Amino acid sequence: MIVDAFNGFRSKKFWLPSKYFSLNAFSLTVLTVSMKLPVDFTSSTQGNNDKLARVSSLVFMSTAMGNFVTSLGSMEDYDIVLNLAALGILVVTVAGNVCIHNAQMRGFLDVIGTLAEDIGSSVFMLLLLVTLCSSALMDPTAKKYIESGYQEMHKRVSNEKVDWGKFTINELRVVVRRYWVMAETGSPQFVVGRSVTCVMSGWMCLLMALTLLEAHIRVTLLYRSHCFVNVSSHYKWSINWILVIQSIGVVLGSIAPLLRWFIAVQFKSSKLSLRSFKEGFKVETYWTQTLVDWRDSPLSLQIRHYKCRKLVHDAKRLLLNFCIAVQIVIVLASKLVLLISAPCVYGILFCFQCIKNLKACDSSESRAGTELDFRQYVLLLESEPGLPEKMLTNICNEMDKLIQKGKKKIPKNLIKLLQRSVNFNGVREFDRGEIESLHTRDLPNCWSLPVVTLTSIAISLPNIKNHKAKQLLVRAVSEGLFFVKLIEKTLYSNGELESLRNTADVVWVGVELYKACPQGRTHKEMLQSLSSTAEKTVRDFVNGRDDVVMQNPLNWPVKIIAANSMYRITQTILLAHKDDDQLTDEKLFKLLSIMIADIIAACLTNLARVITLKCHRNAIKEREESIRQAALLLGESVEILEILQQLEIPNLDPEKAANIEDWRAYSEASASA
């Protein structure tokens, strides 16, 4: 619970989403263990610490349940039903045992001391269980409502998407911020966290914590001189540790419910004074829609007898009508607590505002004006007021911090390499069509495979005096492959070129970790040696093979695909420079470096599209994390995008721009024209 609170404070999500402490089997098991005292019939509670420890256990249970509320938003409906059923069994068992124990020990001093606290804690525990069930019933309908709003907003935003090759850094930042606001305000946990039931649960957790405090003070003062105070506990010295640990747990665990209570009141009551009292107590449809659907749905049981079927159906309707009435009562009670809590929250906010006004606030005022544009991307439920300005500011600031965090990881070596590219001719020049194919069907190309092949050739050149140049090239390509692989993974989602990408990964491990050994005294001898070895490897594999599967080059083993790429690229280099007797290893290394830079630069022109694609995910669970990655990626690639904007990017369709073969076809057509 305290780790969730720490993470919430660090990210300025003061509604404190549940990440580590949620309603699941592990948490319920630990809570069951901690409920040893309330369900123990065999031990007496004559000592002060025994009495207080029983109360602290009940209060701790209620505090844990208060922390469970937001975790319902990130759970599937089936998991919610199972975990709530398990929690209900535990709560009812504990409350029942407390009642039985108090009834059995009625009139004895070990019960009279904390009888009121025991009963009150049990009642509040049951009320928290009902509140959790109320939130769970609202959750499916609220998710559908928010998801519909997100999809509609996504259509509107996608119509204003950034065009490939025609983008600015500010445009990308605006796109990421729009989706960030949509994802954060539409987060299922945030939707539950700002609901009125969170007001109720936070308020009850506060009362429970005060109950424990009152019990500590009253029992210590009232029974200080009682003859049973010094009676030894059945739990001996451990009872003191149980009391201390659970009391600390109540204090720390109350942070999240109280902050959620505060945030929910701040959110829900931001326009309460502008609305009528009657409208403020309106029960929105998403609270009861699930129960109404269950009530009106046909029976799943196959009952042939008409009267029996009608009787069962009427009983089901009667039961669900009762549940709907209970749900309405809970919501109305929560809204009443909201109305009572609003003046307190307004008072606290007023004090903070007075302190804030004493400081210079020019920067915050200018920022508020720019963020008003993003209010239209806030996802809200029916009749919810607008998001408070401070919340929207924190949401946008968090995205800006992610971009700044990404800027700290700018690939400096890659940027130096990209600065060598003045055009994209290397995309066309690394492989020539007149090279003899080693198979009836040519292998297509992906971005990463020619890059790693060219790099392995470049660092294998025998007479390169500056070994630092090789090291810098390997580091730059390593940084570039991070972006290249990300682009391929995002844009080649059908897996068609997966074998080529896997080959590039395997080859790069050898290049990066083991480097390459020169295979000749001159670059021509080395290239000829590499070409001959690669050709022999491919021909030995292809000749005499009747396997239908292996007739498709994409099904070849990694070693054969790598050899085919090496053969074609080395033959292309030999053909391009066969009459150039003055070509030195140093010059060839420079030419290959420029060719590598051209290919990586051409691939990185798809970065803007990848960033925008990462902003949108249909799966709610993946949405926030995907946009987080997009913001970090934008920060890392700011200087890369600035370099690309200085180049003359061809007028290609975005779908074709993702494919290196389409780049090559366009480049060859432009060169011939």
Average pLDDT across the chain, whole number: 84
Of 105, 115, 137, 264, the closest CA to residue 191 belongs to 264
Length of the chain: 673
Of 489, 269, 544, the closest CA to residue 384 belongs to 269
Contact in structure between 58 and 3 (CB atoms under 8 Å): no
pLDDT (0 to 100) of residue 369:
38
Q: What is the 3-state secondary structure (H, E, C) of 175-224?
A: HHHHHHHHHHHCCHHHHHHCCHHHHHHHHHHHHHHHHHHHHHHHHHHHCC
Contact in structure between 562 and 453 (CB atoms under 8 Å): yes
pLDDT (0 to 100) of residue 105:
67
Structure-block tokens of residue 277: 């009292």
For residue 529, how many C-alpha atoms fall within 13 Å in the half-sphere facing its CB? Answer: 14
Question: Angle 2-10/255-268 helices, nearest 10 degrees?
Answer: 40
pLDDT (0 to 100) of residue 517:
58
pLDDT (0 to 100) of residue 228:
47
Contact in structure between 52 and 115 (CB atoms under 8 Å): no
Query: How far apart, in whole angstroms, are the C-alpha atoms of residue 335 and residue 330?
Result: 9
User: Tell me, what amino acid is at 665?
Assistant: A
Query: How far apart, in whole angstroms, are the C-alpha atoms of residue 444 and residue 499?
Result: 11
pLDDT (0 to 100) of residue 480:
93
Q: Indicate the pLDDT class of residue 368, thresholds 50, 70 and 90.
A: very low
Query: How far apart, in whole angstroms, are the C-alpha atoms of residue 170 and residue 59?
Result: 51
Structure-block tokens of residue 344: 């307190």
Question: Angle 196-222/238-253 helices, nearest 10 degrees?
Answer: 150
Give 35-63 pLDDT, tens digit per residue.
988 888 676 666 778 888 889 999 999 99
Q: Which residue has the higher pLDDT, 12 or 515?
A: 12
pLDDT (0 to 100) of residue 553:
80
Q: Does residue 365 surpass a pLDDT of 80? A: no
Provide Rg for the chain, Cα atoms: 34
Q: Is 446 left (phi over 0), alpha (psi -120 to 50) or beta?
A: beta
User: Tell me, what amino acid is at 598?
Assistant: D
Q: Indicate the pLDDT class of residue 520, thresholds 50, 70 and 90.
A: low
Query: How far apart, in whole angstroms, are the C-alpha atoms of residue 239 and residue 281?
Result: 46
- At 359, which helix (H) or strand (E)? none
pLDDT (0 to 100) of residue 255:
93
Q: Does residue 468 surpass a pLDDT of 90? A: no
For residue 284, how many C-alpha atoms fall within 13 Å in the half-sphere facing its CB? Answer: 19
* Chain mean position to CA 373: 25
Q: Which residue has the higher pLDDT, 622 or 521?
A: 622
Of 135, 136, 126, the closest CA to residue 61 belongs to 126
Give pairs for 365-369: CB < 8 Å, separation 24+.
367/393, 368/393
Give 150-168 pLDDT, tens digit per residue.
999 988 888 765 565 667 8
Residue range 312-330: mean pLDDT, rounded: 92
Q: Could you tell me the pTM of the whole model?
A: 0.85
pLDDT (0 to 100) of residue 372:
45
Q: Does residue 274 surpass a pLDDT of 70? A: no
- At 466, which helix (H) or strand (E)? none
Contact in structure between 477 and 451 (CB atoms under 8 Å): yes
Of 573, 666, 562, 646, the closest CA to residue 604 belongs to 646
Q: Does residue 499 surpass a pLDDT of 80? A: yes
Query: How far apart, in whole angstroms, are the C-alpha atoms of residue 42 and residue 36?
Result: 11
Contact in structure between 612 and 161 (CB atoms under 8 Å): yes
Contact in structure between 539 and 438 (CB atoms under 8 Å): yes
pLDDT (0 to 100) of residue 391:
84
User: Tell me, what amino acid is at 463?
Assistant: N
Query: How far apart, in whole angstroms, are the C-alpha atoms of residue 166 and residue 441?
Result: 36
Of 172, 642, 636, the closest CA to residue 405 belongs to 636
Query: How far apart, in whole angstroms, are the C-alpha atoms of residue 516 and residue 460?
Result: 5
Residue range 545-565: mean pLDDT, rounded: 81
CB atoms within 10 A of CB 278: 7
Query: How far apart, in whole angstroms, are the C-alpha atoms of residue 43 and residue 233?
Result: 8
Contact in structure between 402 and 631 (CB atoms under 8 Å): yes
Structure-block tokens of residue 359: 């400081």
Q: Indicate the pLDDT class of residue 673, thresholds 50, 70 and 90.
A: low
Structure-block tokens of residue 611: 């960033």
Buried b (16+ CB within 10 A) or exposed e, 572-586: bbbeebeeeeebebe
Query: How far apart, in whole angstroms, are the C-alpha atoms of residue 382 and residue 384?
Result: 6
Q: Indicate the pLDDT class of residue 349, thresholds 50, 70 and 90.
A: low
Q: Does residue 359 surpass a pLDDT of 80? A: no
Q: Is 107 left (phi over 0), alpha (psi -120 to 50) or beta?
A: left
Q: What are phi and psi of 110, to 5 degrees?
A: -70, -15
Contacts of 294 (CB under 8 A, 6+ apart): 320
For residue 429, how many C-alpha atoms fall within 13 Å in the half-sphere facing its CB? Answer: 19
pLDDT (0 to 100) of residue 510:
83
For residue 20, how many C-alpha atoms fall within 13 Å in the half-sphere facing its CB? Answer: 10
Contacts of 70 (CB under 8 A, 6+ apart): 15, 16, 17, 18, 189, 190, 192, 193, 198, 260
Residue range 345-355: mean pLDDT, rounded: 69
pLDDT (0 to 100) of residue 360:
44
Tell me what percent of the residues of the chain surpass a pLDDT of 90.
39
Q: What are phi and psi of 485, to 5 degrees?
A: -65, -35
